[in-house]
Amino acid sequence: MKKKPNLLFFGIDSLRSDHMSLYGYERLTTPNMDKYLKDGVVFANCLSPHIPTSPGYSSMLTGMDCFGTDVVALRHKGDLAPGVVTLAEVLEKEGYNTSCVGFNGNVASRGFQNYITFESWGAWKAGRSHKAENLNDVTIPELERLAAEDKPFFLFMRHMDPHSPYLPPEPFHRMFYGKDEFDPENKSLEPVLSFKPFKDYFYTWFAPGCTDKDYIIATYDAAIAYMDSCIQVLLTKLRDMGLEEDTLVVFVSDHGETLYDHDCYFDHHGLYEPTLNVPFAMRMPGTIKGGQRYAELCSLRDVKPTVLEVMGIETDIEFDGRSMMPLTRGEERPRDTEYYITECTWERKHGWRTPEWKLIVALEPDFHFKPEIELYNLIKDPNENNNVADKNPDIVETLKNRMAAHIAKRTSETGRENPMYTNLDWHGLGCGPFTSSQQAYDSMHIGDPEEAKKLQAEGDKKKTKK
């Protein structure tokens, strides 16, 4: 009997697709992935409808939307919804060895047999962050161990290079920046360093005295390029071990990054396109026809059913998502054109996204002092610079009604109230919903990388493989 295919899964954190040369970015940030995926399939319009980390990875690894997982908050309390099965749990039942690198202690990481940690954060005083090299140092031995077993394997890696702090090592550090980041005439970082909730965190990893926002953006891009070079090391190892033909390789991210966009400085909150747009690409020679790129809209809930179909694994799970593989065979696939979008990161908002319009509704005042209702025309204003809610009350009402109908439908189907309505301590402050933007601004705060790290996971709930 032929051995089942292996799965090498790059579940990268905070990677926005429009900063990848794979997706047409002007800077050559992902040359190795670009070349590798010429023999794979790339989905050009993948959304992460539920941000940030916990709900994003939960949809990715279960094939469910936020109603299906019951997860919408970064600081989610409890488990996944009853009956939900993760990708790791499915594959373990199929006889797979499963290992997870850099993603322990999070609700979405449930079900792996082995959890391996690596140093994936950083601060200015600690110097350049070798995040991806640290990941390789623990991943390559694990890949060798898994390959030596008489079982197929699922190896999941959570790269953290595009996640702040952006401190890529040399020679990548300045590859996209040749100006003076300390120019006193440049005032672009002044609003960033005066934003009380985040400024203390920024001071721990921004270059002391830096004045130029473009330098910070360039280091984000450089971090991606550095990660890309380290990913090539893993892909070369896979090939040299003779595993390339028998392994499905997946690239995807939990959400994007806002950088300087919409005042959501160098983070991943705000239901704007930079946060929602993520990569999704795969390669498996002999199984997936290479050189394919599809513009059809898809989402993270489609990742798991797609992966299982490629691997030839059938389940009786009724996914909220659907496999993308019919497209690769020239078959019809029912299209999703409208999405319910949610966030519980530093603010609690939800909305409705169509090909033309995006509606964002604040469920409580946010710390940016933004209006309760935002409406953007994604065709005329793709960068979402002009809130036209006041000029289009009829469209606002129509989209609100569509969103309400969807919420009612999913509430009825799952038998649970919308988790956006039940996670009232999403910020972890114990004060209930904010009653004013000033209260939110004065209450929300992140001080240093260690505090940021704690937000991602409450602790290692599994044994760590040494």
The answer to the question of residue 145 being in a domain is yes
The answer to the question of residue 460 being in a domain is no
- Read off the pLDDT band of 456 (50, 70, 90): low
Render pLDDT for 348-376 as a digit per residue (tens, 0 to 9): 999 999 999 999 999 999 999 999 999 99
Determine the pLDDT at residue 296: 95
Q: Which range of residues forms the domain containing residue 420?
A: 339-443
Q: Rounded to the nearest 10 degrees, what angle do helices 196-205 and 449-456 cross at?
A: 110
Whether residues 316 and 344 share a domain: the answer is no
Determine the pLDDT at residue 105: 86
Using DSSP, state whether 45 is helix, strand or coil: strand
pTM score of the predicted model:
0.95
> How many domains would you assign to the chain?
2
The residue ranking higher by pLDDT, 64 or 466, is: 64
Encode 358-397: b = buried (16+ Cβ within 10 Å), e = exposed.
Answer: bbbbbbbbbbbebeebbbbeeeeeeebeeeebeeeeebbe
Render pLDDT for 163-174 as a digit per residue (tens, 0 to 9): 999 999 999 999
Whether residues 380 and 236 share a domain: the answer is no
Query: Of all helices (H) and strands (E), which one includes residue 294?
Result: strand 292-299
pLDDT at 176 over 70: yes
Render pLDDT for 196-233 as a digit per residue (tens, 0 to 9): 999 999 999 999 999 999 999 999 999 999 999 999 99
The answer to the question of residue 453 being in a domain is no
The answer to the question of residue 90 being in a domain is yes
- Read off the pLDDT band of 460 (50, 70, 90): very low
Whether residues 277 and 128 share a domain: the answer is yes
Whether residues 390 and 436 share a domain: the answer is yes
Whether residues 241 and 263 share a domain: the answer is yes
C-alpha–C-alpha distance, residues 298 and 293, integer Å: 13
Query: Of all helices (H) and strands (E), which one includes residue 348?
Result: strand 348-353
Whether residues 286 and 428 share a domain: the answer is no
Whether residues 94 and 177 share a domain: the answer is yes
C-alpha–C-alpha distance, residues 60 and 106, integer Å: 13
Q: State the CATH number of the domain containing residue 392.
A: 3.30.1120.10
The answer to the question of residue 448 being in a domain is no
The answer to the question of residue 456 being in a domain is no
DSSP E strand stretches across 124-283: 153-157, 247-253, 277-283
Render pLDDT for 8-36 as a digit per residue (tens, 0 to 9): 999 999 999 999 999 999 999 999 999 99
Q: Which domain-ending residue is among 296, 313, 337?
A: 337
Query: Of all helices (H) and strands (E), which one includes residue 51?
Result: strand 50-51
The answer to the question of residue 461 being in a domain is no
What is the token pair recorded at 177? 């920046």
Whether residues 328 and 196 share a domain: the answer is yes
**Closest by CA position to 11, among listed 237, 227, 290:** 227
Q: State the CATH number of the domain containing residue 232.
A: 3.40.720.10
* Average pLDDT of the residues in 288-315: 96
Render pLDDT for 384-401 as a digit per residue (tens, 0 to 9): 999 999 999 999 999 999
Mean pLDDT across the chain: 95
**Closest by CA position to 231, among listed 170, 160, 299:** 160
Q: Which domain-ending residue is among 320, 337, 354?
A: 337
C-alpha–C-alpha distance, residues 411 and 422, integer Å: 12
Whether residues 330 and 439 share a domain: the answer is no
Whether residues 332 and 350 share a domain: the answer is no
Whether residues 318 and 354 share a domain: the answer is no
Whether residues 281 and 388 share a domain: the answer is no
Encode 2-33: b = buried (16+ Cβ within 10 Å), e = exposed.
Answer: eebbbbbbbbbbbbbbebbbbbebebebbebb
Determine the pLDDT at residue 464: 40
The answer to the question of residue 458 being in a domain is no
Determine the pLDDT at residue 189: 98
Position 95: which residue type? G
